[in-house]
Amino acid sequence: MAFLDNSGDIILDAVLTDVGRRKMANGNFRISKFALGDDEINYSQYNLDHPSGSAYSDLEILQTPVFESVTAQNSAINYGLLSMTRNDLLYIPSLKINNAFTTAVQPSGNVYYLAVNGETADRVKSSNSSPASPLGAQGQMLIGSLAGMSDKRLYIESGIDTSDEEADSVGRQNLITSVGMMDTAFSLSVDSRFISGLMQLKGNKVFSAGENSDIVTVPNELAPAAASTPTQNLTNYSTYSIRGVDNLLFAPASGTRTDPSALKGPRGTAMAATFMVKSELRKTSAAATPVLYTKYGKTAQTVFGGSDKYDYIDFICYVTGLSSTATTQIPIRIIRYSGA
């Protein structure tokens, strides 16, 4: 994939994608719409304070070389341009993982661990392992793939992550609600070879912490998410629609509590999820190592030191806010105790 020659007139280099060629072979190639992308652009190069003036702010961006077209779906447009009705937006919500809630899972390093069975969940609690595993005495850094294995959830908040704006109801209304940036749903894309389903928050609960109240409510009751659909541009991935509930966590104006949110500014919605692992990955150490670990992960690894051995598979979970289109990526490690 070379760069395009950008020394002369602007040209367009067009190719059919692999899907396009397949559709053409099947006789159902029909283009009906278009979208625009800017994946090559790094907007941090936009210099609002360029010493030569504002006309030069985008000099670096305009000199960005652009790659040739490729035929693979997932190399095309990953982050599209957005059409917003208002031109006076200054903020677009961000997604942030909240590790601070009592029932929030915490990462170990940069990875979130997902235990496949009760044996693994018990084993990795530091109180049961020797040496102590880094996943916490009670497995604070562990998501359970089945009910009863762990009460930890993956929480993600959508909102404005700047301390320049007040994290109160007025800021929420002005910067999120009124501009149509409420993420009432999130799309979670996971590797369907390993994950068979997702759990989401029940719909009648909200996150709340009044500005003048010390009471913080973090919902944690889960219900199964609806069936997934194949992810458009990621092979082997499926996308789940996960409910986003109102995030009414406001910064404290009085009282003794701390701010429970991961966002510095106004909050819109939040979600929680756990992952159900495919049954063939859930076998205990008494069974032979499932072949999926051999094919896609590593087996019999002393992940936490000591003599305990684990099989694991790593994958990335992609999260996108429905309205904000904000994205984040979460590295997840599916882990199975395989014996000492």
Partner 1 sequence: MPVQNFENLDTNTDVTTTRTLLHEVIPLTGTILSGAYADANIKNYTHGMFQSVYDYPYLSSSANHIFDITAGYDETSILSNSSGTQNSKKINLYNQFSQVLLGYTGSTTDGVRKFENDLKLDGVGAMKECFFLSFSRLLVKDQIKKGSFSITVGTGSWATAFSSSVKGEDAIRTYIDSGSSATAGTTNTIGGDYGLLYLSGATTATVAGVVFYQSGIVVLSSSAFNDGDGDSIPQFYHTLASSSYTVSEALQTASISGSADALRHRIKDISFNNTTEINSKIYFCRVPHNKYNYSSNPTYTSGSKIRVKEVASDTPRAYITTVGLYNSQNELLATAKLSEPLMKDPSNELILRVRLDY
CB of 210 to partner 1, least distance (A): 23
Tokens standing for residue 227: 């069936």
Q: Which residues of 258-269 are buried (b: 16+ CB within 10 A; e: fewer)?
A: eebbbbbbbbbb
Tokens standing for residue 285: 């150490």
> Given candidates 56, 59, 62, 109, which one binds partner 1 under the rule CB under 8 A?
62
**DSSP letter assigned to residue 172:** H
**DSSP letter assigned to residue 54:** G
Residues 184-213 that bind partner 1 (CB under 8 A): 187, 189
Vertex 229: Cα angle to 28 and 151 (nearest 5): 170
Tokens standing for residue 96: 């942030």
Question: Is residue 170 classed as helix, strand or coil in its secondary structure?
Answer: helix
CB of 177 to partner 1, least distance (A): 15
> Given candidates 2, 31, 55, 288, which one binds partner 1 under the rule CB under 8 A?
31
Residues 222-281 that bind partner 1 (CB under 8 A): 231-233, 239, 264-265
Which of the stretches 38-46, 104-112, 208-216, 252-260 binds partner 1 when contact is defined by CB under 8 A?
38-46
Of residues 30 and 295, the one with the C-beta less far from partner 1: 30
By CB under 8 A, residue 81 contacts partner 1: yes
By CB under 8 A, residue 61 contacts partner 1: yes
CB of 202 to partner 1, least distance (A): 26
By CB under 8 A, residue 325 contacts partner 1: yes
> Given candidates 56, 59, 82, 253, which one binds partner 1 under the rule CB under 8 A?
82
> Given candidates 50, 58, 128, 211, which one binds partner 1 under the rule CB under 8 A?
58
Q: Which residues have a Cβ under 8 Å from the Cβ of 95 and sit 6 or more positions away?
A: 156, 157, 158, 186, 319, 321, 324, 326, 327, 328
By CB under 8 A, residue 214 contacts partner 1: no
By CB under 8 A, residue 30 contacts partner 1: yes
Q: Which residues have a Cβ under 8 Å from the Cβ of 257 and sit 6 or more positions away?
A: 209, 214, 216
Of residues 53 and 148, the one with the C-beta less far from partner 1: 53
Determine the Cα–Cα distance for residues 242 and 225; give it in Å rounded to an integer: 6
Tell me the one-letter amino acid at 46.
Y
Residues 87-116 that bind partner 1 (CB under 8 A): 87-94
